[in-house]
Amino acid sequence: MHGLLITLLILSSPASAKVAALLSNNSVAPDQPVRLTLQMEGEDEMNPDLSELEARFDILGRSTQQSISIVNGKMSAKRSLALTLLPKQTGRIEIPPIRIGQESTQALVLEVAERSQEEKDAESKQVLLELSLSKPKAYIEEEVLLTLRLFQAPGIRAESLTEPQPSMPDTQLRLLHEESYQSERDGINYLVVERTYALFAYQSGTLEIGGVKYRGRSGNDRIFSFLNDPFNSSQPEIRQFRSESNRVELEVVPIPQNFTGDRWLPAKNLQVVESGLAQQSAIIAGKPVVRRIMVFADGLTANQLPALEQTMPEGLKLYQERPQLKETPARTGISSSRQSGMTLIATEPGRYDLPEVEIPWWNIETDRQEVARLEAVTIEVVPNPGGASDPQPQPPQYTPEQTIRDDNETIASSDQAAANGSRGETHWLVWLFGAAWVVTLFGWWYTRRSETARPRQVEPAEVDKTAVDPGKQAIAEALARLEAAYADQDAVSARAAWLHWAQLQWPDNPPHNLTRLATRCDNAVSQAVLSLERAIYSPLDEPGWAEFEVRLLIEQTSGEKRAEKPTDGLVPLNP
């Protein structure tokens, strides 16, 4: 009974995995690869531990295979992992047991043949790696050219080439140029791959650079074709080549004490130029003028170039643009530029002195300090030609008293003329008519005197309510244009509409730019005007300028002013 239970337990438990390791060859040359195949039977995952194997070999490639077979209703699975290995040393190399799951493979031994000194010398000429520096000593942050040359004999192809490894942290390497060409040396026509790097060290001391490793091969294009048919005698020999570059040293010295600049700039050449102001025939107050200052340098990156800080005189506004950085890598080094654009707006006409621009830098070719200078500039700002218009003559205004006085003078003149005429007549009819005229004149005078004694009430002229005030109509049209510009988010049209509205508000002395207009308006309207000005001239985005309800702000301001104006009325009885 107990034997039956043990048999059932054995049959019900999963079969233990079987693992094995196989070598394609037991002995190889030092530059020839070998194939190691790991096999496993069972359903477990194949995750071998290759840490000890990698210490003795370079793993050039790997491939996996899996097969499933069913025999008499029983399923079996086989997995294999093929590794292509290149020995790191010669002599007897032991391949340790490799653990796969709960099992381990058997240990294997590989013999790597030794080569004669002549063979070693011949192989050393097949692949050459050379590192060189443009100078053995440099300042901190100075550009130094590092050149890597790879020489490959005919029939050899590169598989991998690592980058140079500096010994100091914070050392920057940038690939500038790469080219291939043919070169003959010691009777061998090499294919040369040349790389030029820009090196920037940020710590003083001795900097070592090396560690460039190469791996290549010779033979058939299909590197592992011999593994597919190892018994084919026509299969060419596959050989692996490895090489490592020499090491170079650079002495990095600190910044010289006699340098007086705020920012350390070691370069071959540095210049500063400007454009924009010289092309302006006339600078008008309130209108923007663009000035561009560009800094050029050889041997510096664009991030090393300094930002220009300028202090503008009073009455001159400055709006900085985002700088434009540019780098041009070449075989001889890096050339860079930094363009700073700025918009200048003079709020008042007059004479403005722009300060000079000075950039101290260190000339690494002459080993002394120099100064790149942009001379001070004086600009003349003329008034805006759209000045105030001449006031039109007003028609004379007449008061009721002046009208009465003129009428009396006219009547007196008529009386005098009538009197003079009566003196010349001698006919009695003339005397009769003259007497009647005198009586009539006396009656008219008496009636006139009575009307003058009573207070005269002047009837106010009836206002034609259907007529439209031309000034109010122009302001309404200006507000409509202003609203349309804000609705379309057209900043240029909005600026023109604001200035047109301002000309209607202050016809004798209208403001000719938004800055002056803002000073004449109340706080709410001023904020809307200044927001529009920033949207037009400032390099920063001002997306909210079109969100102001300009008509509502203007009408509220006008209503508040009317409410504050005192009204004419009777003096209260009980003050």
Residue with the larger pLDDT of the pair 380 and 255? 255
Give DSSP secondary structure letters for 132-171.
EES-SEEETT-EEEEEEEEEE-TTEEEEEEPPPEESSTT-
Residues 6+ apart with CB under 8 A from 318: 310, 312, 342, 343, 344
Per residue in 438-478, pLDDT (tens digit) is 666 666 565 555 544 444 443 443 444 344 455 778 888 88
- pLDDT reading at 200 higher than 70: yes
| pLDDT given for residue 246 in this prediction | 94
At 151-197, the pLDDT tens digits run 999 989 888 899 999 999 889 999 999 999 999 998 899 999 999 99
Instruction: Identify which has the larger pLDDT, 305 or 71.
Output: 305
Q: Indicate the range of 86-100, 247-261, 286-300 predicted with least confidence.
A: 86-100
CA distances from 439 to 137, 285, 326, 434, 442 (A): 131, 76, 108, 9, 5
Distances (CA, A) of 374 to 243, 294, 359: 53, 10, 9
Task: Compute the distance between CA of residue 181 and CA of residue 220 in angstroms, rounded to an integer.
Answer: 23
Q: What pLDDT shows up at residue 460?
A: 40
Which pLDDT tens digit goes with each residue over 368-378? 999 999 988 88
Mapping DSSP onto H, E and C, the string for 481-517 reads HHHHHHHHCCHHHHHHHHHHHHHHHCCCCCCCCHHHH
Tokens 């009538």 belong to: 418
In order of 272, 469, 476, 497, 557, the CA distances from 482 in angstroms are: 43, 20, 10, 5, 16
For 243, the token pair is 């090489």
Q: 463 φ, ψ to 5°?
A: -85, 130
Express each pLDDT in 489-530 by its tens digit: 888 788 888 888 888 888 888 887 788 788 888 888 888 888
What does the DSSP 8-state code read for residue 336? Answer: E
In the 3-class helix/strand/coil scheme, how is 291-317 assigned residue by residue? EEEEEEEECCCHHHCCCCCCCCCCCEE
Domains and CATH numbers, the chain: 18-114 (2.60.40), 119-253 (2.60.40.10), 266-382 (2.60.40), 470-563 (no CATH)
Strands (E), 72-119: 74-87, 91-95, 99-100, 103-104, 108-112
Name the residue among 37, 66, 391, 30 with its Cα closest to residue 242: 30
Q: What is the mean pLDDT of residues 239-251?
A: 90
Q: Does 2 have pLDDT greater than 50?
A: no
**Helix segments in 125-266, DSSP class H:** 225-228
Q: What local confidence, expressed as pLDDT, does residue 301 receive?
A: 94
**Given a cut of 70, is residue 19 above it in pLDDT?**
yes
- Phi and psi torsions of 126, nearest 5°: -75, -35
